[in-house]
Amino acid sequence: MQENTQAPIEEKPSTTRRKREKAYRERTILDAALSLFVEKGFHQTSASEIANAAEVSVGTVYFYFKNKETLLIRLTEEIAYELRKLVGSEFSQSDGSLDGFRRAGISFFKDFCIPHPEKVTLLFREAVGHSEEVEKARKRGFTQLTEDVRKAILFMAENMNRPLTTPESAEVLAVSIVGIYERVAYNYLFWNDDKADILKVGDDAVTFLVAGVERFLKP
């Protein structure tokens, strides 16, 4: 068989520039939508307001996104992935111990909730209670995050040579952990009028959860 020695076709500079401009415009619209959904609420935000904030026409918004719901789905998926990547990266840098698991939990509060309250607001509040498609996107994100936690628990148990007490323990623990993190963040960021120290609250929650995980590891 004759070897193909043809050099790869390079994109024209104009094509590269158009792609870059398209990505920039799309990102600008997404960022504008995120800010407005958090500030005013999803239903109270109009396409024209998003267009004005992004400094584009309404037609441009609809060229990139079918409707506001499509914007909300895209933002939900992006933020959920960012959260998974953040926590997963912190755990992967650990030694597969309970302390490493604890640091991964703390990173949720320290590196996600505190610096990105707008993303927490959209994921935990504004993306809730909309259409089936929006709920599916949110569910996918939390299902994947729960699976990440489940695998981390199994890895940790194997690494520490401390098997779980029952085969179902990892899934039950993962569901509980994700649910508690969401509820603690929601309570202290949205419901609690007192200016609580979210990092201290997070540390207490993580300490409680790590103790729970250890309870399900055989000696």
CATH code, residues 70-215: 1.10.357.10
pLDDT at 19: 82
- pLDDT tens, 54-75? 999 999 999 999 999 999 999 9
pTM of the model: 0.86
Q: What single letter denotes the amino acid at residue 32?
A: A
* Neighbouring-strand partners of residue 217: 164
d(C-alpha 145, C-alpha 3), whole Å: 45
pLDDT at 1: 45
Q: What single letter denotes the amino acid at residue 139?
A: K
d(C-alpha 117, C-alpha 100), whole Å: 25
d(C-alpha 159, C-alpha 165), whole Å: 15
Residue 39's Cβ-side half-sphere holds a number of Cα atoms within 13 Å equal to 11
Nearest in space to 28 (alpha carbons), one of 77, 72, 61, 76: 61
State in words which class domain 12-65 has: mainly alpha
Domain borders along the chain are 12-65, 70-215
Tokens 């590891």 belong to residue: 217
d(C-alpha 46, C-alpha 28), whole Å: 16
3-state secondary structure 91-145: HHCCCCCHHHHHHHHHHHHHHHHCCCHHHHHHHHHHCCCCCHHHHHHHHHHHHHH
Nearest in space to 86 (alpha carbons), one of 64, 114, 45: 114
What number of other Cβ atoms are within 10 A of residue 26's Cβ?
16
d(C-alpha 43, C-alpha 63), whole Å: 20
Tokens of 113: 């909730």
pLDDT at 134: 93
- pLDDT tens, 5-41? 565 556 666 677 778 889 999 999 999 999 999 999 9
pLDDT at 189: 83
Alpha-carbon torsion, ordered 81, 42, 139, 58, to 10 deg: -60
- pLDDT tens, 123-174? 998 888 888 999 999 999 999 999 999 999 999 999 999 999 998 999 999 9
- pLDDT tens, 95-123? 788 999 999 999 999 999 999 999 999 99
d(C-alpha 66, C-alpha 49), whole Å: 16
Q: Are 90 and 52 in contact (CB under 8 A)?
A: no
Confidence of residue 48 (pLDDT cuts 50, 70, 90): very high
